[in-house]
Structure 1
Amino acid sequence: MERPPSATAPVGAAIPSQRLASIDVYRGLVMLLLVLLDAPNGWTSAVREGYPDSPWIQAFARQFEHVEWSGIVLWDMIQPSFMFVVGAAAAFSYAARQRRGDSFGRMLGHAVYRSLLLILIGVFLRSEGDDATDWTLEDVVSQIGLGYVFLFLLWNRGWRVQLGVAAAILAGYWLLFALWPLPAGDYDYAAVNGHVYYEGFWAHWNKNAHPAHYFDGWLLNLFPRPEPWVANGGGYNTLNFVPSLATMIFGLIAGELLRGNGAPRRKLLTLLASGAVALGLGLACHFAGVCPIVKKIWTPSFTLAAGGLSLLTLGLLYAIVDLKGWRRWAFPAVVVGMNSIAAYALIHLIAHWTLENYLRHFGAAIFTLFGPAWEPLLQNLAVGAFIWLICYWMYRRQLFLRI
């Protein structure tokens, strides 16, 4: 725990030494969605089954479910938003360490330490409730850890170098999939939880029938496990960290832009224009047949589209929070955003315990006020409120969990 200095800058100011409030708000909004809606229940199916004839409720619920394969909704933006903000905040964090006199070697050592710790935290949290360590590396915390050292090495290299590296990553990752031989006709998709979503060229991006899946079949079986690893049921892969590093690089470029001495209005226009271009490129890649937008395998088109949406979101928040100074509405988000690691861990560690205690002491009736369709959602909101209160207690005492 530590007691950091203020993380916000005066309204409209371009102060390179301080992180902007909009970055904390963006991270906080992402964490608030997770805290309130991600545990302990999957609630969207109950809502959709309860209102089968309501297109509005059906559309609302779908925004909080990952798309089956191709496409993008709000819930698909949780991980890329968080990774984008990691990059944006890193621009300020690295500069602060440099001002304190930290050498490059010391900063690199800290980046390596942080990378390893994030990977292990992801494994630890993912293993909760299992009989043995779940050595897989596809969750957001481990993915950040896998790319973090590379992100640090790109810091202060200039946006042209950073953007060039991001473009090379996406082009190389596209080539890896596009040139990899398609599976033989007798490939057993069912045995690996795979699925044939596409024919023709896009078949290179079918579920669990591509090089990232085969890589995991080698890598993850190097770790001790009760039985051999066969496949990820959702189609997620360790190598997702490669294109998602590009997402963090987009955030780093945005953070360097906001940290600089340019005019605030010019910064805002640059964020919005860059976001529109990236989003347009991602959609163009999808509709032109270059590759589909698939979050679960982090295709280059998804990286561009999600990066564009992240840039647009940060630009909007920068305008509202930092330039206009409208901040009070964002306080609940800031509370969890400034303790994101603690909040994320609490979601995994105490969500079910919290719900059990609600039911034990208050009964199930408090969650059935609006009928059975909304019961799982109300339970999630109640658990999330408890986790938020813990983060608020920490916030009031200026206790922030840092790595």
Structure 2
Amino acid sequence: AGCSLHDLIQPSFSFLVGVALPYSIASRAVRGRSSGTQAGHAVRRSLILILLGIFLRSIHADQTNFTFEDTLTQIGLGYPFLFLLGNTSVRTGWIAFGLILIGYWVAFVLYPLPGPGFSYEAVGVPPNWPEHYTGLMGHFNKNSNLAWAFDTWFLNLFPRKSPFLFNDGGYATLSFIPTLGTMLLGLQVGRWLRSGMAPLALVRRLLLAGAIGIAVGILLHVLGICPVVKRIWTPAWVLFSGGWCCWLLAAFYGVIDVAGTRRGTIRRVAFPLVVVGMNSIAIYCLAHLIDRFIIDSLFTHLGHGPFLIFGPAYEPLLVGIATMGIFYGILRWMYRQQLFIRI
């Protein structure tokens, strides 16, 4: 339960997929792409995201690691449904958003709690696990919930060296359903952005939407109705993290697109974000493929000394900054060459 800055990366990624969809649909329509052609592209994009996610999770494994809780696979599983809803009305989108959150919560609550003889240690939950809920929230406990039960059946349909019993982190395949809710929230915000609304009015709407999402998410947790848990993407987490996504978008839009139109310096400072954002899939893959190689190379050629300059506590931070600097150099070169990886 709870939230750190790192926890907001995946929901932001999913949220922005939704924000971009109205622009994508409009762009393809202008180019004369039929609805059938667009639907086929959405299905292909979905399959590529799923397969790429499985591939990246299988690096260094003895065999294909069929797992579907990765960011890319989660987006891929929900993307065809997002595309279909992107071609409906705003009202339909909000109805779907509500039904997803309520339906997912009801499904979890209706799944029976473990009996008195259930061994939590057998499913990777230590005896001193601090986030063990009771009451309604007990239905969302780690590796004893509906999504865990589904994976003990679904993931064992695929070839694996040993039967799947649990995910160490409690992540689950079915999280793609509420993740679709996060993408739907982004879809609605993307429609706001394309609506021609006055910039300051849009910023105010984003701030208000963010405040409502955060407040309702926290309230559901405090009242014992639904915990704010990222790893199984609870409905309360969708609202809470979605609120933060709205606030972050309001901040970037307000500073870069609104104030930045009058101050070129702001746009220049924001340019590195453009470089990274234009190749988001590339940096995601780089982080999985060569992150360890870069870190090992830094230690090989520079030693640990430069990263211990402020003490051991800051070593991970400095290593991360150096690694990101190398990634940025690669992306900057790709940007200059107009090399953009798109799916």
Matches of 1:364 and 1:262, distance apart in 2:
52
Query: What is the match of residue 358 of structure 1?
Result: 298
AA matched with 1:284:
L
Report % sequence identity: 49
Query: What is the match of residue 400 of structure 1?
Result: 340
Deviation at 1:96, TM superposition (A): 0.5
Q: 1:81 aligns with which of 12, 31, 44?
A: 12
Matches of 2:197 and 2:284, distance apart in 1:
35
Q: Does 1:173 align with 2:108?
A: no
AA matched with 2:74:
Q
Matches of 1:312 and 1:359, distance apart in 2:
38
Using the TM superposition, name which of 317-326 and 108-117 deviates more.
317-326
Deviation at 1:203, TM superposition (A): 1.1
Q: Does 1:118 align with 2:49?
A: yes
Matches of 1:159 and 1:276, distance apart in 2:
21
Query: What is the match of residue 388 of structure 1?
Result: 328
Deviations 1:155-198 (A, max 9, x none): 13222110110100000000011111111111111111135611
Query: What is the match of residue 236 of structure 2?
Result: 301
Q: 2:62 aligns with which of 118, 128, 131?
A: 131
Q: Does 1:277 align with 2:212?
A: yes
Cα RMSD, aligned residues only: 1.3
Report SS of the residue matched to 1:123.
helix
Matches of 2:141 and 2:224, distance apart in 1:
14
Q: Does 1:149 align with 2:80?
A: yes
Report SS of the residue matched to 2:290.
helix
Deviation at 1:345, TM superposition (A): 0.4
Q: 2:149 aligns with which of 188, 205, 214?
A: 214
AA matched with 1:345:
C
Matches of 1:273 and 1:374, distance apart in 2:
36
- Length-normalised TM-score, structure 1: 0.80
Matches of 2:157 and 2:310, distance apart in 1:
49
Q: 1:320 aligns with which of 243, 255, 276?
A: 255
Unaligned runs of 5+ in 2: 261-265
Higher percent of residues as helix: 2
Query: What is the match of residue 193 of structure 1?
Result: 124
Deviation at 1:301, TM superposition (A): 0.8
On the 8 A contact 2:135/2:224 being kept in 1, the answer is no
Query: What is the match of residue 231 of structure 1?
Result: 166
Unaligned runs of 5+ in 1: 1-69
Query: What is the match of residue 90 of structure 1?
Result: 21
Report SS of the residue matched to 1:324.
helix
AA matched with 1:245:
L
Matches of 2:268 and 2:106, distance apart in 1:
47
Matches of 1:206 and 1:113, distance apart in 2:
35
Matches of 2:317 and 2:250, distance apart in 1:
31
On the 8 A contact 2:54/2:64 being kept in 1, the answer is yes
Query: What is the match of residue 282 of structure 2?
Result: 342
Higher relative contact order (CA 8 A, sep 6+): 1
Query: What is the match of residue 373 of structure 1?
Result: 313
Structure 1 residues 105 and 301: alpha-carbon distance in aligned structure 2, compared to 1, 3 A threshold:
same
Query: What is the match of residue 108 of structure 1?
Result: 39
Structure 1 residues 140 and 108: alpha-carbon distance in aligned structure 2, compared to 1, 3 A threshold:
same
